[in-house]
Chains A and B, each alone.
Chain A
Amino acid sequence: QKEVEQNSGPLSVPEGAIASLNCTYSDRGSQSFFWYRQYSGKSPELIMFIYSNGDKEDGRFTAQLNKASQYVSLLIRDSQPSDSATYLCAAPDTGRRALTFGSGTRLQVQP
């Protein structure tokens, strides 16, 4: 079974700092990767996806993909208390036509 690994945290950063969230995956055939944000008691919402090696930027968020190292990361610049949530990394499992999710990293942004 395909695996996606994340550090459960909590990752605590001060307001205004850069938060760095990391994810590794086992399936070398995975082509695209997703980052979701989940607030407590709510359903996950998509932040961004990436399918090319390198960086992809969207506002304060930057996703980084290194297929050779099977490593995906999410950087959040100028972190705000409203960014405090659990961040889920996911990769497609083409055999099951579904996404495999990591267990999530809890981010706490201290005011």
Chain B
Amino acid sequence: SQTIHQWPATLVQPVGSPLSLECTVEGTSNPNLYWYRQAAGRGLQLLFYSVGIGQISSEVPQNLSASRPQDRQFILSSKKLLLSDSGFYLCAWIAGGITDTQYFGPGTRLTVL
């Protein structure tokens, strides 16, 4: 069966510090991978998606970036965090087929102080 991991689970960082969040998927190959952010009390905002190694599409121009160095690894980064980067970061993957069902990882709670 497929599983998706994210770490760290929680993170508290000062403004201006760098960020690296990691997501890995097990039990599948060549998945579509996604990074979402959910601000407190808000909906899901798609940040990046990737259909393959080295292929990244950005949805929101901001101080975040994403990379996919391996087939089942997706990394979200920032060189300098802003207060507005606080939120719940979710990695997701899509199982192929007609329904394209999307599954989420457990998430990383980021607080920028």
Interface residues of A (CB under 8 A from B): 31-32, 34, 41-46, 49, 51, 88, 90, 92, 96-104
Contacts and interface: CB of A to CB of B under 8 A. Distances in A.
Nearest to A45: B104
Contacts of B94: 97
Interface of B: 32, 34, 42-44, 46, 49, 51, 57, 59, 88, 90, 94, 98-107, 109
A32 B49 contact: no
A43 B98 contact: no
Given A43-B106, A103-B42, A103-B43, A98 B34 contact: yes
A102 B44 CA distance: 8
A32 B99 contact: yes
A89 to B, nearest CB: 10
Contact of B101 (A42, A49, A103): A49
Q: Which applies to chain B's interface (DSSP): helix, strand, loop or mixed?
A: strand
B107 A32 contact: no
Contacts of B43: 88, 101-104
Contacts of A100: 46
Contacts of B32: 97-98
Given A43-B105, A43-B106, A96 B57 contact: yes
Contact of A96 (B44, B59, B99, B107): B59
Contact of A101 (B44, B57, B88, B107): B44
Nearest to B49: A98
A45 B90 CA distance: 12
A96 B60 CA distance: 13
B51 A97 contact: yes
12 contacts: A41-B109, A42-B106, A44-B44, A88-B43, A90-B102, A96-B57, A97-B94, A98-B32, A98-B49, A98-B102, A99-B102, A101-B43
